[in-house]
Amino acid sequence: MIEQSGTKVQIVEYLKEAPSADELKALLAKLGISAEQLLRKNEAIFKENYKGKDLSEDEWVQAMVENPKLIERPIVVKGDRAILGRPPENVNELL
């Protein structure tokens, strides 16, 4: 969808290169959501280690740094805005 729009993109595979806590916090600010809202709660890692826990914002960020599989994806960033690409139609807001 993004490629069809003619927009140049940079793909960041954060399962291979996990973002730092500062990078995640900047991304959350662009998304306008809390760290807990960015979690993939159906992941086994979440269910086994975090389900039912009441962690602080920094603790959730650290959990995602240590376990990047917990980060919802894809995330599309354009300038100072970002959006979750699920459902894919959300991307249209940035294009």
Fold observed for domain 3-93 = Glutaredoxin (3.40.30)
Q: What average pLDDT does range 58-79 have in this prediction?
A: 93
Phi-psi region of 79 (alpha: psi -120 to 50; beta: other; left: phi over 0): left
Instruction: Name which of 51, 37, 50 is nearest 84 in CA terms.
Output: 37
Cα torsion angle, 82, 23, 50, 66, sign = positive
Mean pLDDT along residues 30-48: 96
Alpha helices in the chain (DSSP H): 21-31, 44-49, 57-66
Contact of 34 with 57, CB cutoff 8 Å: yes
pLDDT at residue 17 in the model: 87
**What's the pLDDT tens digit per position in 44-58?**
999 999 999 999 999
- Kindly report the pTM of this predicted structure: 0.84
Contact 64, 35 (CB under 8 A): yes
